[in-house]
């Protein structure tokens, strides 16, 4: 596996000669990848949140809180 700096240098070399419209496409694709990964993280956190809140979703706690 290549170090990150080497990947960045390779990408720079490949994009150095692209036109403005091609660079726009590359930028859009990079943004898509970043958003996809952020979405995966959000879905994971959402699932974890639902799991932890299920603990409190029961008749005993509902009754106690209804009378507070």
User: What is the CB-side half-sphere exposure of residue 32 using CA atoms within 13 A?
Assistant: 6
H or E stretch covering 40: helix 20-54
Q: How many domains is the chain built from?
A: 1
Q: Tell whether 61 is covered by a domain.
A: yes
Q: Tell whether 2 is covered by a domain.
A: no
Full domain range(s) for residue 50? 19-66
pLDDT in tens, 5-61: 999 999 999 998 999 999 999 999 999 999 888 888 888 888 777 777 777 777 777
Q: Tell whether 4 is covered by a domain.
A: no
User: What is the CB-side half-sphere exposure of residue 46 using CA atoms within 13 A?
Assistant: 6
Q: Tell whether 6 is covered by a domain.
A: no
The reply to whether the predicted model has a pTM over 0.75 is no
Residue closest to 26 by CA, chosen among 36, 12, 17, 15: 15
């Amino acid at each position: 596996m290549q170090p990150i700096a080497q990947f960045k240098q390779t990408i720079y070399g490949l994009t150095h000669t692209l036109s403005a419209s091609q660079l726009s496409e590359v930028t859009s694709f990079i943004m898509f990848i970043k958003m996809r990964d952020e979405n995966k993280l959000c879905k994971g956190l959402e699932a974890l949140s639902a799991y932890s809140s299920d603990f409190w979703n029961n008749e005993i706690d509902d009754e106690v809180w209804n009378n507070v």
